[in-house]
A = this chain, B = another copy of it.
């Protein structure tokens, strides 16, 4: 029963985030829509912060599972493209204000890049591209990673600045080709 109720809470919070800001979502509302009491909510989550942490974990896990599935049998450059495409698909499902709230929490974690399973996948795809001679070795893997991830995080920023109105996918991919062409052999 425990896991089921916890999943229900996270699922409810996720659905609410598709059209509401994180700060406007109350524990009362999450509990009510999950069909549980506030007391029960607190048996599963210590605080709203813990709920956010769980949402992040679930978000990362969903992206991770999709990546493993979608990249099967693809070449490394295709895998890199799928990486960003999948991320953008998941990000744009949420209210942009979730990321206004979420991004600063990443900045505070100095070990964020090495701890993120998904970013490790991106690093792995870049390594594969490198080793299969897809990338020119005058550029280091780390430099390619920094370039692509910089442009990606900046595009998310601009999407937030536009209050979720800019076309993040178009903005990213129209320049992605330009950037990655430079690294290709």
Interface residues of A (CB under 8 A from B): 100, 103-104, 107-108, 110, 112-113, 143, 146-147, 149-155, 157-158, 160-161, 163, 166, 171, 174-175, 178-179, 182
Least CB distance from A22 to B in Å reads 13
Least CB distance from A112 to B in Å reads 7
Docked CA distance A103–B104 (Å): 8
Chain A contact residues, majority secondary structure? helix
Given contacts A112-B161, A161-B112, contact A175 B166 (CB under 8 A): no
**Is the pair B110, A103 in contact by a Cβ cutoff of 8 Å?**
no
**Is the pair B113, A107 in contact by a Cβ cutoff of 8 Å?**
no
Least CB distance from A59 to B in Å reads 18
Residues in chain B near residue A100, CB distance under 8 A: 107-108
**Is the pair A157, B160 in contact by a Cβ cutoff of 8 Å?**
no
Residues in chain B near residue A161, CB distance under 8 A: 107, 110, 112-113
| Smallest Cβ-Cβ distance to A183: which chain B residue | B178
**Is the pair A146, B163 in contact by a Cβ cutoff of 8 Å?**
no
Residues in chain B near residue A146, CB distance under 8 A: 158, 166, 171
Q: Supply 13 further A-B pairs (C-beta < 8 A) apart from A100-B108, A149-B158, A150-B151.
A: A104-B107, A107-B160, A107-B161, A143-B171, A143-B174, A146-B166, A146-B171, A150-B154, A150-B155, A151-B151, A151-B154, A154-B154, A178-B182
Docked CA distance A112–B163 (Å): 11
**Is the pair B179, A150 in contact by a Cβ cutoff of 8 Å?**
no
Least CB distance from A126 to B in Å reads 15
Docked CA distance A104–B107 (Å): 9
Docked CA distance A166–B145 (Å): 13
Docked CA distance A147–B103 (Å): 19
Given contacts A153-B157, A154-B153, A178-B178, contact A147 B171 (CB under 8 A): yes
